[in-house]
C-alpha cells in the first residue's frame, strides 16, 4: 500500500506548496491565527473529520501571553477581510485559535496524533529581491507578522497529510487526531490545549519541525533531544512617583527595584545537576528624567535541562522579584507568559519510526539524535501522552535555509515539505495499518 | 516720569493679554519655538531694536537635548502654517530659536538685560470646561505642547516691556538688551546663548518668573534663591545580542550594565557641604525576552545646592557609567541633555529693586527671599554676568494658579502679567534713567 | 563669692592634672570603665554626695553594644588589679559602669545637672617620643584602649567641680547632680541612664566637651550645634553552607545577601528636608573560598540632621536588610548598637551661660555657636530634660590638639582643664546661687 | 614475577601503616610539609633514588597561596623539633617542599611517573573517642593541621612502592620517577613542579586517590573523570578612609567596590558548552562602623568542565573586579591562589591498567569511570604529559570512610593502603617490565 500513498502525496505537491505560500502571505502571530485556523477547520470539515475549535480545544484559563482584546478584535477583522469564514472566526473569539480534527477508521486500533503549529513570528519580513517570498510575491502582507520559523510549512504538511489519510480511510485502522496548535512562539499555546484533555487517549504522538540543526535536505532524525524546560514571565513593579529634586524621599522607586532584581536574578546559583538559564530580556522603567520612576516592567525567562532545574530557577526568580519589591516598597504583579517542559522521546517509537524512515529511501542520513537547542511547548503534549502511557517522538526533517530561524530573510527549500509529508504518511500507515 | 510709564503700561493691558493668549494657543516646545520667536523678532524689529536670531545668538555646539532633524522640520512647517514669517524661520534652522533685541539710548549708561523664556511643556493640555484656556478658546492647538509653566506670559511681558522702553527712548540712558531664550524646560537653552557672549557686557541682569512658591497676587520677592545646579544626561549602552538559551556567553549584556549603573549611581556618597541629588528617571533596555539585551538607555540627572556639589555628583556619575560599561564589555556614549548652575543674586541689585517694588505700591508683601525649589538655566546667564563684574537679580511675582506648574490644567491670574510688566518697567527706568 | 571659687579651683590644678593622667594611664573602653567609675564613686562618696551606681542608674535592657560576658569579667579583674575597689566593681557587673552623685543644698532651689563621659577609645596608643603621654609616662597601660577623645579630662574636670561645690556647700541653693556616663563612644551609654529617669527632675542641664572644632585655648561656645541624630546597628545573616563546586544550588548565600544590602543601603534616597547619612562600615562574610558563605555581618549606621530624617534612614535600612534576607533565603538578626538624637540648646540657658563666660575673663573669643560635626548621646539627656520642661546647654571649650580626636597621637593642652573647671564652677554658682 | 611483588608488598603492611600514622600525627598543611618532605627525601635517598628537592623541583614564581615568611619559618622550626633533618629543611626554604626521586633501571625502557600529594588540611582534628586517630594516639599534634583527605596514606603508599621497586631493581627496565607534591589542597602546588619540567620526559603518568566517590573496599576505577578546571584568586581593594558623618564624599569606598563585584561576579552568564561555577567564598571589608571602608578582600574561585570554560569565567571575573575598582576609585590587586586544569585520561593507559586491576584479583568491582566531583591539580601534570606525547591515568581506590573528606572526623580503612600499594606495584611492573 505504501507505494500508493507515496504517489498520492507526490501528486499533491503543487497544492501543498500553494497552501504554504498562501499561509506565508497571510502570516498571523500567536493567538491571532484566525484566518489560518479557519482554513484548517474548513478543510478538515470538508475531508470528513470531526472538527473542534475554540473553547472545545483551548482552556482560556491556561492561555499565556494573549494580546489585548483590542488587538484580537482588529486581527479577527483582518482575518475576515482576508477571506476567513466569519462562522469559524466567531468560534475562536478571545484568541482561542486551536483546531483539532478526528477521524475514526472502521477497524479498531490505536489513537495516533499528529501535532502542527500554525503561528507566525513578530518579525517584519525582508523586502529584498534576494528574498524569494518577496521576489515571488508571497511575502507577508501583514506588517510585523512573518512566518520565519516554518510553521506555514508545518500547517501545509498537516493539511496534506489529513487529506491523504482521509482518502486512504478504508485501508486504515484506529483513530487519527490532527492537532493544529496556535501560539507556539513564546511557548504559549500547547498548555491550554493539553488542559482540555485532548491527548489523554493518545497511544502514539508525533511532532515535527523543519530544519533546526539539520541544514541539508536528505537528513533527518526521529529523536529530537535537548528540549529546555522553560518559563516565561512578565514582572511589573508599581511604586509612587515624586519630584526627584524637591521630595525624592517620598517616592517609591520601581526602577531601582527592577534593576536590583535584574542583577540578582542573573546571580542565581548554577545548578549542579544540569544546565540552567536566566535572562531578563527587557527592562522598561520610568517616565521622566526628573521623576522618581513609579513603573517598571521586566520580561524574563528561565530554562533548565530538566523541568526540575527550570522549576528551581523559576522559584528562585520569583523570590528575588518579590524581595526586590519589598526592598523598594513597591507592588509586584507577575504574569506567566509562556512555558515548556523538558521531554525525552519514547525509544520504542523512535526505533519504529527510524525503520519507516530507512525504508522510505527519502533520506541520505538518519541521525541517532539531534539537538533542538531551545524550547518547544510540544513537550507539554508529549509529557501528558507519556504520563497516560502513550509513546511519543519528535521528528526533525532537514532543509537548506536562506537565513536562520526568526531572521527576516528566513526561507526554506520547499522540497522538504514533500519529503516531510511523505515521511509522515508512511509513519501514519505504519501506526494505523490494519494488523 | 514713573507715573507716565505706569499709565503707558496699563494702557497696554488688553494687548498684553491678547499676546499671551495667542502664544498659549500656539504653544511650541523646546527648540521648536519657530512661530513664537518669529513673532518676537518681528515685533522687536518693528519697535526699532537691533535684532539677532539663529546662529548669531545660539551656539549650535552647546545646544542640548535638541529634537531630531525630522521633528524640527515638521515643526518649522507647522509654525509657518500658523503664521510665522518664513524669513525668520529660515534663520532659525536646526532649532536655533533664540532672539535678542538691543536698543542703545542716546546718552551713555549701563547695559541692562532682561531675559524671558519662550518654550512650552511636553504636556497635553486639559480639555475641561473648568480649564479657562479651553473654555475661552485659547487652549493649545498643538497637541502635546502646552504652556504649563507660564512662559507664554513671560514672553508677552517681555514684548510689552520692549514696547514701553522703545516709546520712552528719549528719556533713558545706556543700552537695553532683551533676551528671549528657547528651551528652558529641561534646562537646555541658556548655555548655548551664553556661549555666544551676549551677556558679557551686561551691567545689570534681571530674570523673572511667575508664581513659583508665591501663590498670591500681591506677593513678590527680588531675591529668588535655592537654584539647584543640575546636569541632565543620557547614557546609551551598546552590547552584542545573543540567544539566551543557546549561547548566552557570547552576548554582551547592556541591560545588566545599565542596571548596575543605576543602583550604584543612587549609591553615590552624600556630600557633607550641602544637598545633592541623583535620579535615573528612565531606563529602557532590551528587545526580546529570549535575547541577551544589546541596547540600554538611561536618562538621568544630578543636582547640588552648589555647582561644586553638582560637579562632584556628575563626575562620580560619569565614572560609574563608564565602569559599568567596562564591567559588561559594552560601549557607552553619554550625551549632555541639559544643565543649570547654582547662583546667588547680587545683594546690591536685590536691595535696589526692592526699593523699586516698595515704591511701586504694587505689592502687599515683599519677601526677603523665596525658594525656587528646582533648577533654572537662567543661572548660566547670571553666573556669566557676575563673572564679568555685573549684578544680577531673579524676581518672582506671585499669582494664583488653577493647578501647579507642569499640570495639564495649569493657568494663572492674568492680572499678574500687568503687575509684572509694571514692575519691570519701573525697574528699567531705575537702572536706565539719565542721572 | 565668685572670686573665692576661682581661687579654690586654681589651687586644685595640680590634683586635676594628676587625676586626668591617672585616668589616661588606665584607659578603659565602653562598658568596661570599672576602675574609672569606682574612683568616681569613691570620690563622690568621700565628698558627701549620695552616690548611685550599677542598676540604680543603668537600665540593662537599653544598654547597647555591650562586650561579651567574658570580656567584661576579664576587664573587671583588670580594674581590681589596677586598684579599683572590689566593692564598687561588684555593683557594676554586666558593664553597668554609670555613676551619679547628688548633693542637696540647704536652701531650696533648682536641680542642676552636669554630665561627663568616662570611656576611652578602642585605639592602640602611640609609643612615640613626640607623644607626651608616652614621653612623660602616662600612656595607656591597657593595650587597645586609649583616651583619644579627652574623656579622661572630662572626668577629671567633673571630679574637681564636684569637690569645689561640696566645699562651697553652704553658699549654694537647690540640688546638684553629677552624671558620669559610660560608653559615649559608639553612642551606647546615655540611653540606658536616661531610661532610669535620672534627669526627669532636672531644671538646668550642662554638657561639655573639649576641643571639637575649637582648636585654640581661649575660644569657647555655649551653643554647640550640629548634633546628628544617629542609629548604630549590626545585621547578621545566617544561611546554609554548601560545596561551591559540587552543589552550589543547595547553599543559601549570606554573603550575597549582605552585598546586595550594602549597595542598596547606600542607594537610599536623599531626604529633601536635611542631610542624611548611611554607612556600612564593616562587612565580614564567609569562611572558605570553595564554600557558599553561610554567615555575614554588617556593621552600619544611619544619621540625619533631625531625628525624623535619621528615623527615615533607619526604617529604610531595616526594610532593605530584611528584603535582602528574603532574596537569598537567609535569616536576619538585627541588634541596636548605639544611638543619639538631634538636639538644640535652650536659648535662655545659652544666653545666661554666655554672660557667665563673658564675665569670667577666661576667653578671648566666645562664639555664637560651634558645630560638633557628629553625634553625641548626651543629646538623649538633653532631649529628655527639654521634654520635662528643663533647659539645656552643651558647651565647647577650645584647646590646642597634638592630633585629631580618635588619633593614636591625640593629646590636648592641660591648661584647658583648668579653664573648663573654672567656667563650670562659675556656671554652677550662677545656677545654684542663693537668690 | 608478580607473585613475588605481591608478597613483598604484603610483608610491608605493618611498616606502611606505621608510616601513615606517623605522618598523620605530624600533619603539615600546604607549603609547610617540611618534616614530611624531609622523611620522603631521606627515605628515597636511602633506597638509592636520585633525589631532588626545593628549587630543583619547585618554581618559586609559580607557587600559589604561600603562607607568610613568618609562618614558614615557624613551621620549619616545628618540623625540626619533630625530627626533620635540618639538612633537608634547609633546602626547602620558602616552602619549596616538593620532592622527586628517580631510579634508572639497567635496561632501557619508558619513563614512568607516580605522583603523590603530601599536605594536610587546615582542619582542627576531632578529639572524640569514636575517632580512631584520637583513640589510638596518632591524632595530629599540630593544632589546626589534620590529614582529612588521606594524603598521609598517599605518601605512605608512595614510599612503600618506592621501596618495592628499588628492591626489584634488577627485574625492571626504563626509569621510574616518584613525585611527592606539596600543597594539593587549594590546588596550589602542582603548577610550580610542572613549571620545572620534571614530567616533560614522562611516557606513563599515574595518579591516585583514596575513597572519593568510592566508599567501599573492593571498588576502584582506572578512569577518574569530572576534574573541574579551576582558578583560585584573592582580590584586594584599597581605597581612602573618611569620616562617614563629617566628610563621606572624600572617601573611596572599598567595601562597595567589593559588594558590587561580588554580585556581578555571580551574575556572569552561564556557558552553553558546559558547566561553570563562580564563588566569592569570603568577603572582608572595613574597619569601623563610622569610617568609609578603605580596604576589602575577596577570596574567590572559578570553575569549568573544560579549561576553556574556566578561562572564560576567570577572564570575565577579572574584568568585573577591575571595573568595580574603577567604579569606586579604588585600587585593585589580584593574586593567583591556586589552579587546576580539566583533563581526560588516556584511554589506552586506562585499558591497560584495567587489565592489571582485573588480573590482580584485588577488586570486586572495577568501574568504567568515577567522578571526582571537584578539582585536583594533578591535572597540570597530566595535561603536560599528554602535551608531550605521554599517557596518563588517575586511579581511584575505594575505602570505607568514618566521615567525609575534609571533615574533622575523617578516617579511612587502612586495608585500602595495602590494596593500593599492591595495585600500583603491579601497574609499575606492567609498565616497567623487561619485554
User: pLDDT tens-digit profile of D43-100?
Assistant: 999 999 999 999 999 999 999 999 999 999 999 999 999 999 999 999 999 999 999 9
Segment A348-364 mean pLDDT: 96
CA distances from D4 to A169, D17, D161, D168 (A): 79, 21, 14, 9
Quote the CA–CA distance of B103 and B117 in Å, as a whole number. Answer: 19
- Residue D320 to chain A, least CA–CA distance (Å): 13
- Residues of A contacting chain B (CB within 8 angstroms): 186, 228, 230, 232, 243-246, 248, 255-256, 258-260, 262-263, 266, 277, 279-293, 296, 299-301, 303, 337, 373-375
- How many pairs of residues across A and C have Cβ atoms under 8 Å apart? 60
Chain B residue set in contact with A, beta carbons under 8 Å: 186, 228, 230, 232, 243-246, 248, 255-256, 258-260, 262-263, 266, 277, 279-293, 296, 299-301, 303, 337, 373-375
Same domain flag for C129 and C253 = no
- Phi and psi angles of residue A143, each rounded to the nearest 5 degrees, phi first: -60, 130
pLDDT of amino acid B6 = 83
**Cα end-to-end distance, chain A, whole Å:** 13
C14 and C113 housed in the same domain: yes
Question: C405: burial class by Cβ within 10 Å (0-12, 13-18, 19+)?
Answer: middle
Q: Which three cell numbers stand for residue A145?
A: 507578522
A50 and A144 assigned to the same domain: yes
Whether D134 and D395 have beta carbons less than 8 Å apart is answered as no
> Which residues of chain B are within 8 Å of residue A280 when distances are taken between CB atoms?
255-256, 286, 293
The pLDDT value given to residue A3: 52
Question: In angstroms, what CA-CA distances link C260 with A399, C255, C323, D193, D268?
Answer: 49, 9, 10, 41, 16
Q: Closest Cα of chain A to C9: distance in Å?
A: 52
What are the cell numbers at D48? 638509592
- Across the interface, of C258, C290, C301, the residue whose CB is closest to D281 is C290
Our CA angle for B207, B210, B216, nearest 5°, is 135
Among B307, B340, B373, residue at a domain's last position: B340
pLDDT at position D143 over 80: yes
Please name the residue of chain C whose CA is at the shortest distance from the CA of residue A245.
C272
DSSP string, D14-62: HHHHHHHHHHHHT--BTT--HHHHHHHHHHHHHTT-EEEEGGGT--GGG
- Report the neighbours of D using a cutoff of 3 or more CB pairs below 8 angstroms: A, B, C
Distance of residue B317 Cα from the nearest chain D Cα, in angstroms: 9
Residue at a domain's end among D294, D323, D340: D340
* Average pLDDT rounded to a whole number, residues A108-118: 98
Smallest Cβ–Cβ distance between A247 and the set C247, C272, C323 belongs to C272
Q: Please tell me the distance in Å from C44's CA to the nearest CA on chain D.
A: 35
Paired sense of beta strands D173-181 and D99-104, if any? antiparallel
pLDDT band at B3 (very low <50, low <70, confident <90, very high): low
Contact between residue B414 and residue B17 where contact means Cβ atoms under 8 Å apart: yes
How far is CA A326 from each of CA A247, A330, B119, C279, C318, rounded to the nearest angstrom? Answer: 21, 7, 41, 21, 11
* Closest Cβ–Cβ partner in D249, D253, D323 for B326: D323
Pairing status of strand C99-104 against strand A295-304 = unpaired
The whole-number pLDDT of residue D435 equals 66
Distance from chain centroid for Cα D183: 5
Whole-angstrom Cα distance, residue B324 to residue B264? Answer: 9
- Cα angle, residue B247 at apex, residues B241 and B249 outer, rounded to 5°: 75
Residue C312 with chain A: CB contacts under 8 Å: 249
Q: Which of B324, B340, B356 is the last residue in one of the domains? A: B340
Same domain, A176 and A126: yes
The maximal CA–CA distance of chain A, rounded, in angstroms, is: 83
The DSSP H or E segment spanning A283 is strand A276-285
Mutate: best of C270, C272, C372, partner B, most B CBs <10 A: C270
DSSP type of residue A172:
B
- Joined together, the cell numbers standing for residue D6 give 605481591
Cα A219 to Cα A160, A211, A369, A378, B46, distances in angstroms: 21, 9, 11, 22, 83
Instruction: Judge: D327–B329 Cβ closer than 8 Å, yes or no.
Output: no
Same structural domain, C101 and C130: yes
CA distance to partner chain A, nearest, from residue D283 (Å): 17
Instruction: Name, in order, each residue with C-beta under 8 angstroms of A73's C-beta and a sequence gap of 6 or more.
Output: none
Picking from A248, A269, A271, the nearest residue to C272 by CB comes out as A248
Contact C269/A246, CB-based, under 8 Å? no
Residue in chain A lying closest to C245 (CA): A272
pLDDT at res. A1 = 52
CA atoms within 13 A on the CB side of B294: 12
Q: How far is D271 from chain A (nearest CA, A)?
A: 9
Angstroms from B427 CA to nearest CA on chain D:
43
Decide if D249 and B320 are in contact by the 8 Å CB cutoff.
Answer: no
> How far is Cα C164 from Cα C106, in angstroms, rounded to an integer?
16
C partners (3+ CB pairs within 8 A) are A, B, D
Say whether D267 and A270 touch across the interface (CB within 8 A).
no
Cα of D239 vs its chain's centroid, Å = 35
Helix (H) or strand (E) holding A402: strand A401-403
Grid coordinates in use for B67? 529634537
Which residues in chain B have Cβ-Cβ distances shorter than 8 Å to D249?
269-273, 312
User: Which one of C263, C269, C277 has the shortest CB-CB distance to B263?
Assistant: C263
Which residues, listed in sequence order, are joined to residue B247 by a DSSP beta bridge? none
- Chain B contact set for A305 (CB, 8 A): none
Q: What radius of gyration, in Å, describes the C-alpha atoms of chain D?
A: 23
Give residue D374's pLDDT band: very low, low, confident or very high (50, 70, 90): confident
Report chain C residues touching chain A, CB-CB < 8 A.
246-249, 251, 253, 256, 260, 264, 267, 269-273, 292, 312, 319-320, 322-324, 326-327, 329
The 10s digit of each residue's pLDDT in A205-259 is 999 999 998 999 999 999 999 999 999 999 999 999 998 988 999 999 999 999 9
Of residues A264, A270, A277, nearest to D276 (C-beta): A270
Residue B1 pLDDT > 90: no
List b or e across C382-403, with b for residues whose CB sees 16 or more CB atoms inside 10 angstroms: bbbbbeeebbbbbbbbbbebee
B108 and B10 within one domain: yes
Residues A251 and A397 in one domain: no
Whole-number Å distance between alpha carbons of D268 and B366: 61
Residues D288 and D173 in one domain: no
Cβ neighbours of residue C246 under 8 Å, at least 6 residues apart? A272, D373, D374
State pLDDT tens for residues C309-319: 999 999 999 99
CATH code of the domain containing C299 = 3.30.70.360
Residue C170, Cβ neighbours under 10 Å: how many?
A: 9
For the stretch B168-221, pLDDT in tens is 999 999 999 999 999 999 999 999 999 999 999 999 999 999 999 899 999 999
Contact between A256 and B245 using a beta-carbon 8 Å cutoff = no
Please say whether the beta carbons of D158 and D7 come within 8 A: no
Which residue, chain included where needed, has cell 468560534?
A: A91
Sign (positive/negative) of CA torsion C379, C380, C386, C391?
A: negative
Q: Are residues C286 and C245 in the same domain?
A: yes
CATH of the domain at D108: 3.40.630.10
pLDDT given for residue B5 in this prediction: 81
Residues A220 and A248 in one domain: no
Contact criterion met (CB < 8 Å) for C289 and D283 = no
Question: DSSP states of B374-398 as a string?
Answer: E--THHHHHHHHHHTT-EEEEEEE-
Strand residue runs (E) in C129-266: 173-181, 204-210, 219-221, 224-227, 229-238
Say if residue B306 is in the same domain as residue B380. Answer: no
Inter-chain contact D267–A267, Cβ cutoff 8 Å?
yes
User: Using the beta-carbon criterion (under 8 Å), do A289 and B303 form an inter-chain contact?
Assistant: no
Asked if D288 lies within 8 A of C281 by C-beta distance, the reply is yes
Q: How far apart are the first and last CA of chain B?
A: 13
Using CB atoms, pick whichever of C271, C272, C327 lies closest to residue A320: C327
Q: Do B270 and C275 touch (CB under 8 A)?
A: yes
Co-location of A191 and A255 in the same domain: no
| Domain containing residue A386 | 2-228+342-432
The residue of chain D with its CA nearest to that of B329 is D319
Model's pTM, two decimal places? 0.91
Residue A319 and residue C312: Cβ atoms within 8 Å? no
User: Would you state the cell numbers that stand for residue D323, as one nine-digit string?
Assistant: 571595573
- Helices B34-47 and B13-25, packing angle to 10 deg: 150
Q: What is the DSSP letter of C56?
A: G
- DSSP-derived secondary structure letter, D105: -
Q: State residue A286 phi and psi, 5-degree precision.
A: 90, 160
Total number of domains in chain B: 2
Q: How many residues in total does chain C contain?
A: 435
**Chain D residues within an 8 Å CB radius of B246:** 272
DSSP category for residue D428? H
Neighbour order of strands in the sheet with A173-181: A50-53, A99-104, A173-181, A107-117, A204-210, A391-397, A219-221, A365-367
Q: Which chains would you list as touching B if contact means 3+ CB atom pairs under 8 Å?
A: A, C, D
Residue D127 CA, distance from chain mean position? 26
Ranges of residues in chain C whose predicted pLDDT is under 50:
2
Residue A163 CA to residue C205 CA, distance in Å, equals 101
Residue D2 has pLDDT above 60, yes or no: no
Inter-chain residue contact D323 with B319, CB threshold 8 Å? no
User: Distance, in angstroms, between D299 CA and closest chain C CA?
Assistant: 6
Is the CB of B276 less than 8 angstroms away from the CB of C264? no
- The grid coordinates listed for B378 are 537662567
Estimate the crossing angle of helix A34-46 against helix A13-25, to 10 degrees: 150
Chains contacting A (3+ CB pairs below 8 angstroms)? B, C, D
Q: Tell me, what's the pLDDT at A16? A: 97
Amino acid at each position: 500500500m505504501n507505494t500508493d500513498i507515496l504517489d498520492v502525496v507526490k501528486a499533491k505537491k503543487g497544492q501543498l506548496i500553494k497552501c504554504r505560500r498562501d499561509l506565508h502571505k497571510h502570516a498571523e502571530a500567536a493567538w491571532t491565527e484566525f484566518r489560518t485556523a479557519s482554513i484548517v477547520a474548513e478543510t478538515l470539515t470538508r475531508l470528513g473529520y470531526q472538527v473542534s475549535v475554540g473553547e472545545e480545544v483551548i482552556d482560556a484559563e491556561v492561555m499565556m501571553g494573549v494580546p489585548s482584546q483590542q488587538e484580537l478584535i482588529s486581527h479577527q477583522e483582518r482575518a475576515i477581510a482576508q477571506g476567513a469564514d466569519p462562522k469559524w472566526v466567531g468560534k475562536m473569539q478571545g484568541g482561542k485559535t486551536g483546531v483539532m480534527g478526528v477521524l475514526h477508521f472502521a477497524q479498531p486500533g490505536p489513537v495516533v496524533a499528529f501535532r502542527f503549529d500554525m503561528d507566525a513570528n513578530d518579525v517584519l519580513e525582508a523586502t529584498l529581491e534576494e528574498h524569494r517570498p518577496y521576489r515571488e510575491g508571497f511575502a507577508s502582507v501583514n506588517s510585523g507578522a512573518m512566518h520565519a520559523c516554518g510553521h506555514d510549512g508545518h500547517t501545509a504538511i498537516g493539511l496534506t497529510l489529513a487529506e491523504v489519510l482521509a482518502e486512504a480511510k478504508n485501508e486504515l485502522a484506529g483513530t487519527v487526531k490532527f492537532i493544529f496548535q496556535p501560539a507556539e512562539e513564546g511557548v504559549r499555546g500547547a498548555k491550554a490545549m493539553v488542559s482540555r484533555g485532548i491527548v489523554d487517549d493518545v497511544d502514539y504522538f508525533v511532532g515535527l519541525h523543519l530544519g533546526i540543526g539539520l541544514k541539508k535536505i536528505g537528513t533527518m532524525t526521529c529523536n529530537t533531544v535537548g528540549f529546555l524546560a522553560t518559563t516565561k514571565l512578565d514582572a511589573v513593579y508599581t511604586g509612587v512617583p515624586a519630584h526627584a529634586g524637591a521630595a525624592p524621599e517620598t517616592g517609591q522607586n520601581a526602577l531601582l527595584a527592577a534593576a536590583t532584581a535584574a542583577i540578582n536574578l542573573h546571580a542565581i546559583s548554577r545548578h549542579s545537576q544540569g544546565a540552567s538559564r536566566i535572562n531578563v530580556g527587557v527592562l522598561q522603567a520610568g517616565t521622566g528624567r526628573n521623576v522618581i520612576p513609579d513603573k517598571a516592567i521586566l520580561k524574563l525567562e528561565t530554562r533548565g535541562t530538566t523541568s526540575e532545574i527550570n522549576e528551581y530557577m523559576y522559584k528562585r526568580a520569583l523570590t528575588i522579584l518579590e524581595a526586590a519589591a519589598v526592598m523598594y516598597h513597591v507592588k509586584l504583579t507577575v504574569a506567566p507568559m509562556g512555558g515548556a517542559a523538558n521531554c525525552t522521546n519514547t525509544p520504542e517509537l523512535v526505533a519504529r519510526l527510524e525503520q519507516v524512515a530507512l525504508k522510505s529511501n527519502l533520506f541520505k542520513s538518519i541521525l541517532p539524535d539531534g539537538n533542538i537547542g531551545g524550547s518547544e511547548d510540544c513537550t507539554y503534549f508529549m509529557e501528558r501522552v507519556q504520563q497516560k502511557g502513550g509513546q511519543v517522538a519528535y521528528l526533525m526533517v532537514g532543509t537548506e535555509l536562506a537565513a536562520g530561524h526568526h531572521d527576516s530573510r528566513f526561507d526554506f527549500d520547499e522540497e522538504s515539505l514533500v519529503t516531510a509529508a511523505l515521511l509522515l504518511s508512511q509513519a501514519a500507515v505504519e501506526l494505523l495499518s490494519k494488523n
